[in-house]
Amino acid sequence: MSAIFYHNDQQKALAEETMKAEAKKRNRTVQTKILPAGEFYDAEDYHQKYLLQRYPYILSQLDMEPGDQLNNSFVATRLNGYVGGYGTMKAFEKDLDRLALPPNIVMSMKKIMGTKSNVEC
């Protein structure tokens, strides 16, 4: 399920406004639910950065294993989105300075992204 969880009225209003704008942009209803945040539990390590974990050679090159390091890594979060098809090659290339990836990972990511239907994010 796609969901946005809010903690206060301001967050709820912003989520509703954003979803309405996105629906208009796409010319179709957005199915994302907007729900009050309740108690939150972290998923088990094998669920964290699940899409990126499907490419163990990238994790190996990053010297990361499932656990706190992977779960809390900004780089892993960004790469997880890109391997999942979220974000364009242009956005990835713009992110490269911030991600500070070695050339072999950049090449691997570009190869993976070239096979995905990436969306503008």
Say how far apart CA 16 and CA 13 lie, in whole Å: 5
DSSP 32: -
This prediction has a pTM of 0.71
Say how far apart CA 30 and CA 19 lie, in whole Å: 7
pLDDT in tens, the chain (121 residues): 789 999 999 999 999 999 999 999 989 999 999 999 999 888 899 899 999 999 999 999 999 988 999 999 999 999 999 999 989 999 999 999 999 999 999 999 999 998 765 555 4
Q: Which residues pair with 6 in a beta bridge?
A: 36
